């Protein structure tokens, strides 16, 4: 059964040109999705709609069969969705442990260790961590929220090849071992190769590649 479903979703910025056109798709738990597409095609917008950061111009998005608008977008973001951003978006005055504890429903320490951070790194100021380490904290924060869906926007965009591979591997594990629905917007073909389902967004339409 799908955890997320898009029904006839359309989106336009100025009511004139539709960035997203009549999108229908279903996403399931335990799968790792990659959404590919050229810059400006609406990938991040689609991710925002799925995460309840914005509302579609037309159509509905269902989470576990329920319209997220009716659920309440803030509630949807809080209970069902976890975001991972390209620029990590960690709170700079909190330690990794405190960042994870922000919305944590699970103990933060084991999760931070699970994503590969050492005890010393866990106590350090987040700004003193490397990009890869910061992204691991962001992933740990997403996992700690116990959300069923993880939405990642270019999670490896700022990372070197080796670290990007490690992060991709962690995300894949999140989907397969933790039964999360992981949806990643990316330009990286390497990351896309790791995905269970690759979706192509082109001219406002979403198609399976």
Partner 1 sequence: MNCIKRAFLHDVRKAGKTLLLFSILLVIGILLLTCFSIRRGTQIAALNIRQSLKGSFSIDAKASDGQLTNEVLQNIRQMPGIKNYNGRSSSYAEYVSEDGAPLEVMTEGSFDVADGFEHAGKVVADSFSQQDELFTQFGFQLTEGRPIVDGNEHTAVIHQWLAARNNLNIGDTIQLRLNEQMLSEETTASGDVKNTVSVKIIGIFDSTRPQPETILLSHAFYQNTIFIDPKSFSELFPKNGSLYYETADFQVDDPETLDALIEQIQHTEDVAWENCAFTKHAADYEHAKGSLQTLEQLVTFLLFIILAVSAALLILILALWIRSRVHETGVYAAMGIGKGNILLQHLTEVCLIAICAFTLAAACSSGIAKFVGEHLLKQSAVPEFEVSHFTDAKQQNQAEEIVELTQMQIHVSAQDIVLVYSAGMLLILLSVSIAAIPVLRLKPKEILTKTN
Told to check if 118 binds partner 1 by CB under 8 A, we report: no
Q: Is 107 in the site for partner 1 (CB under 8 A)?
A: no
Is residue 77 within the footprint of partner 1 (CB under 8 A)?
A: yes
Residues 46-75 that bind partner 1 (CB under 8 A): 48, 51, 53-54, 74-75
Residue 83 within binding range of partner 1, rule CB under 8 A = yes
Count of chain residues binding partner 1 (CB under 8 A): 28
Q: Rounded to an integer, what distance in angstroms lies between the CA atom of residue 47 and that of residue 61?
A: 12
- Closest distance between partner 1 and the C-beta of residue 83, in Å? 5
Q: Is 109 in the site for partner 1 (CB under 8 A)?
A: no
- Distance from C-alpha of 62 to C-alpha of 208, rounded to nearest angstrom: 20
Give first-to-last CA distance, the chain, whole Å.
21
Look at the chain and count its residues: 209
Question: Does 91 contact partner 1 by CB under 8 A?
Answer: yes
> CA 179, CA 169: separation in Å to the nearest integer?
14
Tell me the window of 12-20, 30-38, 80-88, 109-117 that interacts with partner 1 (CB under 8 A).
Answer: 80-88
* Number of Cβ within a 10 Å radius of residue 113: 14
Q: With contact defined as beta carbons under 8 Å apart, do 57 and 49 qualify?
A: no
Interaction between residue 43 and partner 1 (CB under 8 A)? no
The least CB distance from residue 48 to partner 1, in Å, is: 5
Please state, in angstroms and rounded to a whole number, the distance separating the CA atoms of residues 155 and 167: 8
Nearer to partner 1, 78 or 202 (CB): 78
Shortest spacing between CB 208 and partner 1, in angstroms: 26
Return the HEC string of 129-145: CCHHHHHHHHHHHHHHC
Query: In the bound complex, what is the minimum distance in angstroms from residue 95's beta carbon to partner 1?
Result: 9
**190 is a contact residue toward partner 1 (CB under 8 A):** no
CB 79 → partner 1: shortest distance, Å?
Answer: 7
CA distance 159 to 154: 10
Residue of 159, 154, 155 whose CA lies nearest to 37: 154
Point out which residues bind partner 1 (CB under 8 A). Answer: 48, 51, 53-54, 74-79, 81-83, 85-87, 89-94, 98, 101-104, 145
């Amino acid at each position: 059964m799908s955890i997320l479903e898009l029904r006839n979703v359309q989106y336009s910025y100025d009511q004139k040109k539709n960035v997203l056109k009549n999108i229908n798709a279903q996403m399931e738990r335990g799968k790792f999705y990659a959404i590919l597409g050229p810059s400006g095609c609406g990938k991040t917008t689609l991710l925002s709609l799925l995460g309840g950061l914005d509302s579609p111009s037309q159509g509905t998005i269902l989470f576990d069969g329920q319209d997220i608008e009716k659920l309440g977008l803030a509630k949807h973001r809080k209970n069902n969705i976890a975001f991972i951003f390209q620029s990590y978006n960690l709170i700079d005055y909190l330690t990794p442990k405190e960042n994870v504890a922000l919305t944590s429903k699970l103990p933060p320490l084991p999760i931070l260790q699970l994503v590969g951070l050492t005890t010393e790194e866990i106590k350090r100021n987040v700004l003193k961590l490397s990009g890869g380490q910061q992204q691991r904290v962001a992933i740990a924060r997403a996992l700690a929220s116990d959300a069923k869906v993880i939405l990642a926007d270019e999670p490896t965009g700022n990372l070197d090849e080796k670290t990007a591979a490690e992060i991709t591997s962690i995300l894949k594990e999140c989907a397969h071992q933790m039964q999360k629905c992981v949806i990643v917007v990316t330009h990286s073909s390497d990351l896309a190769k790791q995905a269970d389902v690759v979706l192509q967004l082109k001219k406002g339409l979403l198609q399976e590649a």
